């Protein structure tokens, strides 16, 4: 009788966990894309400056 309790419903915690995981992953990917775009702009500027010095 002691161990016949039903299993608690934790599906809300699972959904919350997946939501947090995918939100953090999405923000991380946006951050990487933004940094990559900035890096390309910096590289372009450095190449222009190098051409001007020649």
**pLDDT tens digit string along 2-54?**
667 788 899 999 999 999 999 999 999 999 999 999 999 999 999 999 999 97
Look at residues 35, 13, 32 and name the one whose alpha carbon lies nearest to residue 24.
32
pLDDT for 6 equals 85
pTM of the model: 0.72
Of the pLDDT bands very low, low, confident and very high (cuts 50, 70, 90), residue 1 is low
Measured in residues, the chain has a length of 54
Distance between CA atoms of residues 18 and 8, nearest Å:
19
Query: Which residue in the block uniquely carries the two structure tokens 């890096």?
Result: 39
Where in 1-54 does DSSP place strands (E)? none
pLDDT for 15 equals 98
């Amino acid at each position: 009788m002691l161990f016949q309790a039903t299993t608690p419903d934790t599906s809300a915690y699972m959904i919350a966990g997946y939501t947090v995981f995918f939100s953090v992953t999405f923000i991380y990917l946006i951050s990487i894309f933004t940094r990559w775009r900035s890096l390309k702009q910096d590289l372009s500027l450095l190449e222009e400056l190098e051409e001007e010095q020649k």
